[in-house]
Amino acid sequence: MKKDCMDAVRPIALLGAVAIATLGWMARLEGSEPLSAQIPAINMSGHRAFGPGWITLNGTLENTVETKPIIAANTRFGIKLFSHIYQQEKAKNIFISPLSLTLALQMLNGGATGETHEAIASVLETPGMEQQQIDLTLSALHTHLHEMDSEVELTIANSFWMKEGGSFNPNFIQRTETSYQALTREIDFSSPATAAPVINGWIAEETHQRIDHILEPNDFDSGTIAMLINAIYFKSAWLSPFSESDTREHPFALADGQMKAHPLMFQTQEFAYYENALFQAISLPYGNTAEVNLYIFLPNPEVGLDLFLEHLNAENWNLWLKEYWENKPIRLGLPRFKIEYDIELKDILTAMNMGIAFSSEADFSSITSEPFWISKIKHKTFLEVNEEGTEASAVTGILGTRSGPVDMIIDRPFFFAIRDDNTGTLLFMGTLVNPLE
């Protein structure tokens, strides 16, 4: 990378996601109900990105009638899930990857049948869609995201860990290997002290050590028969750099009205910008080609985050992105922040009508003839936006404009999303209510 401006650095966006579903026997004792096995956590850390895409016969992405609904489904699922989470967690900084969960659950749903398959498909907003088309789209998306902008480091990894000596459907195994490029491997779950380090090591490698320890030996027991994992790693610098010398302390208004000093990174530059009665919005591009962008929606002071999120749905999201975004000079103040977030999703997904997958009525017979259900799904994420790392040469100021730049000082709670604009895929989304946490 060029070093024309030594004090200009590209704040590094680091994002990671790991989704782990542990599948266990429904062991039956004489006269007793089935006992579920523990399911490991869905975990996220670093900057990573996914998104359903377009498909052609040669496996590349293309806008087609078949694939448009899959992209739209990921958006609807992500926004609905986020809405449920926000109702429970609004006092916290929230950060999730809809795509990480989509990939993990779609891999799993390929082995579900009957009402279980329908329930998962409904939550994922893909009812009635052919699973083969979904798999093909996600496979092509994987290839697209891996091969785009050379300045965007993006890795998607899937794996399916099977009980040593177990009986698994070879068609399911082949599907995970071909459609999801998944590693499939047998492992001795009856020896948790051995199995946990092996799987943790694979996750750490795939997430560049951003997630280096997820599973504990007590996440396994004699009923564990399989574990399905999705891992995402994304690291990129901004297209337009910030100057480290311009970062300074600035008051940030917390949701409870308190004012706290926090570092804001400042620059004046031309960005895609949109505003309406609810918010100001800006698009900050990553890499060299601006295919992946961070969208920040800053609710107007009289609106606030709660009211803004009441208006956030898939219809409005698509409408807002189709509105006229004007490239104009913006005096931007962006907080330096880090989010580490985790949540148990069983109750929320049950409330979204996926409860059958967590019950003794679950049918995953296309994976194995052994009856099992899902006992737990955890989601853990990590996001960091800072000024460490790559030097950049882009100009950080604009002089001589006829009208002054628009101020967008992000000094109060806001919503943000990371999107692959080439395919329209919603990769990550979150809210920052307290940059000091």
Characterize the bridge pairing of strands 326-335 and 259-275: antiparallel
Tens digits of residue pLDDT in 82-119: 999 999 999 999 999 888 889 989 999 999 999 999 99
pLDDT number for residue 290? 86
The pLDDT of 180-208, averaged and rounded, is: 89
Q: Which residue has the tokens 């052609």?
A: 56
Let me know: does 255 contact 305? Beta carbons within 8 Å.
Answer: yes
CATH code of the region 244-336+387-432: 2.30.39.10
The pLDDT of 159-187, averaged and rounded, is: 91
pLDDT grade for 25, boundaries at 50, 70 and 90: low
pLDDT number for residue 94? 95
More confident residue, 267 or 20: 267
pLDDT number for residue 264? 96
The pLDDT of 31-49, averaged and rounded, is: 29
Tens digits of residue pLDDT in 284-326: 998 888 888 999 999 999 999 999 999 999 999 999 999 889 9
Q: Where are the domains of the chain?
A: 67-236+338-384, 244-336+387-432
Q: Which residue has the tokens 């900084």?
A: 93
The pLDDT of 230-252, averaged and rounded, is: 86
pTM over 0.85: no
Characterize the bridge pairing of strands 152-163 and 183-187: parallel
The pLDDT of 372-391, averaged and rounded, is: 66
Select from 3.50.50.60, 3.40.50.170, 3.30.497.10, 3.40.190.10 the CATH code of 67-236+338-384.
3.30.497.10
pLDDT number for residue 374? 81
307 contacts: CB under 8 Å, gap ≥ 6: 278, 299
For the cut 60, the answer to whether the pLDDT of residue 26 exceeds it is no
The winner for highest mean pLDDT among 307-311, 359-363, 427-431 is 307-311
pLDDT number for residue 15? 61
More confident residue, 427 or 241: 427
